[in-house]
Structure 1
């Protein structure tokens, strides 16, 4: 009844394509749930695009498209809905399950969810490869270790000498959460949707909030602009850099932000040809150094509405556009670079090795959020680098080269299906990936929209204000000499002893004893930290 009412009263276009049989109920149900809290005025602007997207997207990707379109149409409403969910929807519950098990449910913010996943993955990786536990068991034990405040898992390999037994256990580093935001949005010159890897679109205000306490890295990709300029101005004539109307096509010189042009080192380039002027259609990518977060312009009036986005802005191509182009010109299914050389005449550095460099892998995986197989939801960061035209280890010069324009992220399952010749994959102009089944079925995966990728614009930031002089700290009190007294742990335990874990303990007396030992160890670690801070320098 709720779906019927929504179709009749709020979604007339979705109702029409549903009744015509072109969209199934699972997609309609996903859209009705995703748009339940969106205002009627905003939904009326979104519905034409959603009716088109429902024809080719899976329910899960359709929900992500609803969120992205909401942020594009009305970022203020998207921010209000997010804040309302943060206030009323965050919860954790534990329910009983069969056979002595329990289920834990948690509803977190997007940033909290990605942080938790990163911490669990890091904790699960503190054991050696011989640990007999499955991946799910390791992640569960890692989750419980985080709850107990532990810094690593005890390996269960059973070997007398485990590679992880005598490793130093430093404090856990901060988890990695990757956010893509274009420069105009970061500087409040636009309000384009941003992208949180592993989650999807987020509103620009949340992206700015997370960017204010993060590490920045500028990624500049000028391939399409260079190609368009050459075609527009005839041949290879590019407009002069001093022309005020021409866009910049090279990194800015060092300015007050501290950003510097990339050096020709292995870690800064894309792993492609080091030639300064690549051939048309070949990406010219610059990945600058990691920098501390800069100073963002403040929001002038939080209560003021966002500026409306221009309706005349060009849209990213859609799957239906690609399918129509293929129907008009079937020769497109040969691929943009059928020889697998990515448009190069000579193999660039690293192209004749099977394993891609970190820069080439990052350049490929920046373009897609998931595995490129249509409907697959495996995150791109968890996928393998797949050569679209297969790499030939016996004759690397003749096979597909390891370059950005011959790579895609593919999960293990679909990578193997392609290797087994169940599917053929081609890449079209514009980074669209087409999977072709053995019986002719065609599926298309488009890259992330331009505003959700790492920034491809180069602008000079406004100069930072002069930093204020740091206040003189007050005189410190003399240290408590009690920290140099032997701790309980130093008196009763061996220095290399570790606190016991609580996993699998059911006896109450044993549990209380283990908890007491963990308390003594925590006090011991705190006192050692205080001693280390007060230790005089060795010179």
Structure 2
């Protein structure tokens, strides 16, 4: 500033003054700190979703009260005669809304307000309101898990949809309590594992809901073909089928798509689309487009020149595992002169299969099946039995979960029975958050196999193998991710920044307890608690006996 202007210009050194520490920008944080920020934001998003649901539900409550008051001001709701009641019933039965004169009801008004506030469609606003109502009145404990960030909005909606057919209030409260308990007791898990856990709890504590679900899925089956909204010249095919039918259809497309020669220029998704078109034309196999087949379309060795009747029958291949039944994959390219067989995989307790209980089964890619459906699917299936525990109950526990499948621990490729055991014990890829189907992915050695001297480490046994999809298998192999399996076959993963995650917090071993390896002895603290509980129980028994002795009947 020029001299004489009435002020003096001075320079200030910020370091000489006590100021609040500046918050660092995200691009100044290290990767390990960014992971913490990401986790924190996920928790905030879950808590925010919880509050939005509650607020939307409260808006709904208020609008319902306003609507009820508006109706009461015009009509009390009381009818003065039987004739008036019969007239009103007839109008309702004919599809007339007796309250149409009062305009939109409370829910419709709330949908309009919530939709306008959030700039979402009426369908999305309605979903938010209904989720909030369920959070407050049906799934309060599970909603608490959402508020705490243990699950996110997507998983809460999965729990909501998978429990919407439970009509009994007591059953609903029981399912909610067990679901919340299981959620808090386990590490976060992928949506496929979470869905299986929810379904297993519903199957155990609300079996009538499973029956109602079966009736609904049969009535809701449909296929739709609509124009693609974004790409001219394309259409979208969608459908809703029972899980078993969908699995058979999916397996048929895959088997047809993989039966062509290796030189076929199409990608797998393109071949599946062409297989669907072939089925629509009544063709049993997909025409191969490799150079040899294109040059000789009449060649009888081509995979598409097959017997139509044989190709039309999809074979359900299943592999029961000594108290559990699992599927065994079949090589569809073994004989190009035969039509490929569609194979899908089911895991079920042997006790369920022979009718001793009704525990649910697991259908790969589709979560759990009820016992009746599983028995129907497996009635004519080819089965292979594996034995995860020693046949002699008095024998000492084996060093690995299965003895007969572990005889080639020094061989790199696991046997078919060992593959079935490992895959049956999981529900999908064991990498945190991944849902890749367990029967279509790799089996990875947690401790790398030593090809130079297999006896030095990395054995091919159930405690050193886990399913990993090809993407996460490469991530684990070629980057600084670390993995570990404990004695209960829980898979732990450590990121390059040092954060650790559980990959299989809920697994096939939770659904099928015979697949669980022998557990180590309880911790001394747990034994101490058991002793205290036993002592309290005996003390109460003695007190009851003294009271009964002192007060013989009649009292």
TM bin (shorter chain): 0.5 to 0.7
Deviation at 1:83, TM superposition (A): 1.6
Determine the structure 1 residue equivalent to 2:270.
137
Deviation at 1:91, TM superposition (A): 0.5
Deviation at 1:428, TM superposition (A): 1.4
Paired residues of 1:191 and 1:204 also in contact (CA < 8 A): yes
Match of 1:199 among 342, 346, 366: 366
Determine the structure 1 residue equivalent to 2:508.
448
CA distance in 1 between counterparts of 2:241 and 2:432 reads 28
CA distance in 2 between counterparts of 1:443 and 1:52 reads 20
* 2:257 matches 1:124: yes
Shift of the 10–3 alpha-carbon distance from structure 1 to 2, 3 Å rule, reads same
Determine the structure 2 residue equivalent to 1:71.
203
Determine the structure 1 residue equivalent to 2:400.
282
Q: Secondary structure at the match of 1:84?
A: helix
CA distance in 2 between counterparts of 1:421 and 1:15 reads 37
The one-character-per-residue Cα deviations of 1:269-320 (angstroms, maximum 9, x if unpaired) are xxxxxxxx78633234568xxxxxxxxxxxxxxxxxxxxxxxxxxxxxxxxx
Give unpaired runs (5+ residues) of structure 1: 230-237, 239-276, 288-347, 457-539
Match of 1:166 among 296, 300, 310: 300
Deviation at 1:163, TM superposition (A): 11
Deviation at 1:213, TM superposition (A): 3.5
* 2:204 matches 1:146: no
For the aligned residue pairs, the C-alpha RMSD in angstroms reads 2.8
Deviation at 1:111, TM superposition (A): 0.7
Shift of the 162–353 alpha-carbon distance from structure 1 to 2, 3 Å rule, reads farther
The one-character-per-residue Cα deviations of 1:445-486 (angstroms, maximum 9, x if unpaired) are 143135548889xxxxxxxxxxxxxxxxxxxxxxxxxxxxxx
Shift of the 162–41 alpha-carbon distance from structure 1 to 2, 3 Å rule, reads farther
* 2:205 matches 1:38: no
Deviation at 1:184, TM superposition (A): 2.4
What pairs up with 1:400-411 in 2 under 5 angstroms?
A: 400-411=458-469
Determine the structure 2 residue equivalent to 1:107.
240
The one-character-per-residue Cα deviations of 1:369-416 (angstroms, maximum 9, x if unpaired) are 211112111011111111110012233232312223211111001111
The one-character-per-residue Cα deviations of 1:336-369 (angstroms, maximum 9, x if unpaired) are xxxxxxxxxxxx7533332222222222112112
Determine the structure 2 residue equivalent to 1:94.
225
TM-score with structure 2 setting the length = 0.57
What pairs up with 1:194-233 in 2 under 5 angstroms?
A: 194-223=361-390
Deviation at 1:427, TM superposition (A): 1.3
Shift of the 27–198 alpha-carbon distance from structure 1 to 2, 3 Å rule, reads closer
Shift of the 426–126 alpha-carbon distance from structure 1 to 2, 3 Å rule, reads same
Deviation at 1:45, TM superposition (A): 0.9
Task: Report which of the two has the higher share of helix.
Answer: 2
Give unpaired runs (5+ residues) of structure 2: 1-128, 315-341, 517-555
Determine the structure 2 residue equivalent to 1:395.
453
CA distance in 2 between counterparts of 1:368 and 1:162 reads 45
Paired residues of 1:42 and 1:73 also in contact (CA < 8 A): yes
Deviation at 1:107, TM superposition (A): 0.4
CA distance in 2 between counterparts of 1:30 and 1:121 reads 27
What pairs up with 1:122-521 in 2 under 5 angstroms?
A: 122-159=255-292, 165-167=299-301, 169-170=306-307, 171-172=310-311, 174=314, 175-223=342-390, 238=394, 280-284=398-402, 349-444=407-502, 445=504, 446-449=506-509, 451-452=511-512
CA distance in 2 between counterparts of 1:161 and 1:107 reads 40
CA distance in 2 between counterparts of 1:413 and 1:453 reads 30
Determine the structure 2 residue equivalent to 1:262.
none
Please tell me whether Structure 1 or Structure 2 has the larger radius of gyration of its CA atoms.
2
CA distance in 1 between counterparts of 2:416 and 2:365 reads 19
CA distance in 2 between counterparts of 1:353 and 1:66 reads 38
The one-character-per-residue Cα deviations of 1:150-177 (angstroms, maximum 9, x if unpaired) are 1222222223767994316232252323
Determine the structure 2 residue equivalent to 1:57.
189
Matched residue count: 346
Paired residues of 1:27 and 1:54 also in contact (CA < 8 A): no
CA distance in 2 between counterparts of 1:401 and 1:19 reads 43
Q: Secondary structure at the match of 1:215?
A: coil
Paired residues of 1:219 and 1:454 also in contact (CA < 8 A): no
* 2:214 matches 1:82: yes
Shift of the 408–15 alpha-carbon distance from structure 1 to 2, 3 Å rule, reads closer
